[in-house]
Amino acid sequence: DWTPDNVIADQVAAIKAQVGSSRVICALSGGVDSAVAAALVQRAVGDQLTCVHVDHGLMRAGEVEQIENDFVASTGVNLIIRNEKERFLTALAGVSDPETKRKIIGREFIRVFEDAQREIVAEAGEHGEEVKFLVQGTLYPDVVESGGGEGAANIKSHHNVGGLPDDLDFSLVEPLRTLFKDEVRAVGRELGVPEEIVSRQPFPGPGLGIRIVGEITEERLEILRRADAIAREELTRAGLDHEIWQCPVVLLADVRSVGVQGDGRTYGHPIVLRPVSSEDAMTADWTRLPYDVLSTISTRITNEVREVNRVVLDVTSKPPGTIEWE
Ligand code: XMP
């Protein structure tokens, strides 16, 4: 019988058997999946777990603070935050191809983890246990869509599946590999992960890096962060968070169009709103958001983000469009 309790019991036993007395590190992204994976591993092996959050500079406004406040406060887990903005921006400089971006982000992630591993081992001293395991919140749809499932096409390299380098120095612990999102949420609630995390909408590991169509720069990230914060704020204010699966906000950085703002001509960038409704992200429909909410978001973004002079709505289902633009 599928119940959250059974999944927890099975996975706790499996994790204990796999990990033994080794130390384990977990990539905590701030999303539901990695939080629930971490909580499961903590249940299984307690203090052998250290969580690492890589601040790759591709997060949305306020997210790093949220990880520190919500998750650590509720679980008491050991957390290291690594500020790696420079490293990621440098590695991504000049790159606009989506799969190349994803592979670079995946590769740098693992390198940062290997650094963290060395630090944890050094701190533990010569009698400390080795860190041999890396926990990832990979879900079943990630496995399928990265070409890991039987007969599946490789649609995108999700950074926590297809984008790993070949010379990986860790064994992976992936306790959510057979689960869908709603099942992960049920398991998380049963484990006592706070509701603000469990009900959070999905956000991709490569973050805003795959929501800028074109090259990623600090300036473009800042434009997108401001537009995204406005969209999220207005959707929450309108009470729509539970009606949409997620709403990517995308900056078309290589596209410019003519507008008129204030008393002059502008030549700015479009922002795309991509609200979707879905059960499991494998398929999705575009969400029919109320016009007045769309209107408020559009007005605020074009008023408050100077570089943006047009807001457009993506009305494509999946398939044929994927949820993210890259
Ligand atoms: P797509 O764009 O493939 O997205 O329709 C399906 C779901 O997966 C999320 N997504 C990712 N999640 N790492 C993740 O952890 C990734 O690399 C990644 N790419 C897409 C996306 O936000 C949507 O919920």
Per-residue pLDDT tens digits for 239-271? 999 999 999 999 999 999 999 988 899 999 999
Whether 205 lines ligand 1, by a CB cut-off of 6 Å, is yes
Residue indicated by tokens 């044929």: 320
What residues contact 325, with CB distance under 8 A and at least 6 apart?
210, 211, 213, 248, 250, 272, 274
Total domains in the chain come to 2
Whether 246 lines ligand 1, by a CB cut-off of 6 Å, is yes
111 & 166 share domain:
yes
Task: Provide the domain limits for residue 129.
Answer: 4-198
Mean pLDDT of the chain: 91
Q: Whose CA is nearest to atom 22 of ligand 1?
A: 204
* Ligand 1: nearest atom to the Cα of 105: 17
Does any domain span residue 228? yes
* Ligand 1: nearest atom to the Cα of 29: 15
64 & 171 share domain:
yes
173 & 26 share domain:
yes
pLDDT in tens, 43-70: 999 999 999 999 999 999 988 888 888 8
Does any domain span residue 148? yes
9 & 90 share domain:
yes
> What CATH number did the domain enclosing 100 receive?
3.40.50.620
> Biggest alpha carbon distance in the chain?
69
91 & 221 share domain:
no
ipTM above 0.95, yes or no: yes
- Asked whether residue 162 carries a pLDDT value surpassing 50, the answer given is no
181 & 215 share domain:
no
74 & 223 share domain:
no
Q: Compute the distance from residue 122 Cα to the ligand 1 centre, in Å.
A: 35
Does any domain span residue 323? no
240 & 99 share domain:
no
182 & 215 share domain:
no
Does any domain span residue 320? no
Does any domain span residue 288? yes
Does any domain span residue 203? no
Q: ∠128-138-92 over CA atoms, to 5°?
A: 85
248 & 306 share domain:
yes
pTM for the full model? 0.89
245 & 292 share domain:
yes
* Main-chain dihedrals φ then ψ at residue 56, nearest 5 degrees: -85, 5
